[in-house]
Structure 1
Amino acid sequence: MPTFISSIGSLAVPAPHVEPIDILLATYNGAAFLRPQIESLLAQDYLSFRILVSDDGSTDDTLAILSAYAQRFPDRLVLVPSPLSGRGALRNFEHLMTVCLAQGRARWFAFADQDDVWLPDKLSRSAACMQTLESNGGADLPCLVHTDLCVVDATQRVVHPSMVRYEGLNPAAATRESLLSVNEVTGCTVLGNQRLLELALPLPPAAIMHDWWCAVIAGSGRRAFIPHATVYYRQHGANQIGARDRGVWARGRRLVLDGPGVWRRVRELGAQTWHQAVALGQRLCERGLDRTYVDDYLRWRCRSRLAQASAYRRYYAGPQLDRLTRWLLWRGFDAQPPSRRYP
């Protein structure tokens, strides 16, 4: 049975520096903020790690910066050749995940974004938590640790000390069912184990993002949230995915300025979450794992709104307005029953 540990603040102490970790850093035109991030990775108080970097065809100084660091720290930073460029963040991270798994050097892996800054104890806190998750047979299960973040602006001025509170989320209470609809796992805080990589790869076409896919895969194992910011999450104009204030006034302003766009994006996300859940059910079936909770979710999505009313809080996490919006706009997107969807 999967285990979900709501929060592990008491375990946020340095772990023994013995288990090797691969930090997976995907880059693309990130020269403006790349140096501070690499410096923060190199300054980790957890000593057994290396940084695997895959670039997606940058046209700025990103490659020059990476090459300089690779020459200075050849045992720490490794440039991973990429067969194609312009694939986007999801496929760039998938490439790094594939290399990490194929090499088999690291027991654990961590995602890193090019424009953030890690606090020095980021890895050690997560590693201590991962050791607990993997104890008592957990190493044979997909395990994932994630943390809170401190939201900062382009100049690293603090916007909000907690991204979780800023966005009105509650990852400590998230379940494998609610994660099918709402991603409360921020990729740049993730530490995962080898079993998670094995089950997550290859990423299916329906995967919305690499971190969300890993989060739902971890539903078959163990996941823990550390309610402590370990990353300065840099919010700037070039972010592909950014933190958003989900307060009533901020949300009302977005609806006034871009109402049709907001409704369109909500509907699109409804379709994306549906197809990702179908892909998850297929993956679990292929690997001989229990998919019952995914089938139940898909059946529930196909029910009438009235029939859904009693259980929508179970599947739709987040602020109440978000929950109601999904309940009103999201539907099933495939009339085929779950029992016929898988081989």
Structure 2
Amino acid sequence: MAPIRLAPDARPDVWRGGLAWTEEGGWWQPWRLPPGRIATAHASGLVTRARMPAGVRAVVRTDASALELRTHAADDDVTSLDVVVDGALWRRTALTAGAATSQVSLPPGAKVVEVWLPQFGELRTGALVLHGATYAAAVDEGPRWVAYGSSITQCRSAAGPSRTWPALVARRLGWDLTCLGFAGECHLDPVAAGAIARTPADVILLCLGINVYGAASFGPRTFAGQVSGFVQAVRDAHPRAPIAVLSPIVSPDRERLPNQAMMTLEDVRRAVTDAVTTLRRCGDTGLHLIDGPSVLGAGDAHLLLPDGLHPDADGYRLMAARLAPRLAGLRPAPPRPATPV
């Protein structure tokens, strides 16, 4: 029985979570922002993060007895590769710099197999190869969900790529995840707003503020307006999709510490709240605010890494447990009234 090869160009119905793929030297490079437009961000760090396949996965219904996947990691910062079978973690494989071939035996019979690429580290992949399979069918993953944010959405310190909080929420709710978490690079870039605008979505979550605080990329005069503009660009493209905005989770040492723009983390959180409240008052009742400390607050600070900023693996699991019911309650926005000229 000949193996079944599932390449991203031939089976885009199987490969999920990437906005685009480019072929590079016999490998496939997943992109989480459009490669033809990303140069307009003028941010090399964002380009690097966009080449990291957080949330990118192959999902297939099959009777295969084994799978094989070739990967090429740019450096040793790469995290692991997860194989999930019928919703349960089956195998986690550590990766290092360079080329590697992962070979995994699978349980007999029909099952849904998910291969999650690492959430951190630049990585290219070959085709997913199924051995002993008579079929390889795509799986409907439900409502399409886009989550945009920082390293706290990319989740480097999660136990594995299938255990980031966006992946856990998507599994619990039966949603089809596109993760646009960019460590250190969530600065409301127009290229990100455009990418979300062009991506089909039934639910959208925007996790805003912590990178703006860290880099002081906006200040008291500009930040709330930038949040409003970003949200409105997304709303114009998705008039009926519920949009939730998550303000920064707790970071005890930063709460009242001014950054270079003279904003504390409390100030940043207040600006996000003001922007969302104002947009709702202007008629966007499909826009929702989730207060970051209600997801991970002062009483949960023991779940932060020593940097006092990033959750550990248990912290990400708690975030998923608290966010899932909040997001599950979102409903499509009602038609918006015409804006007076």
> TM-score normalized by structure 1?
0.30
- The structure with the greater share of residues assigned to strand is 2
**Higher relative CO (CA 8 A, sep ≥ 6), structure 1 or 2?**
1
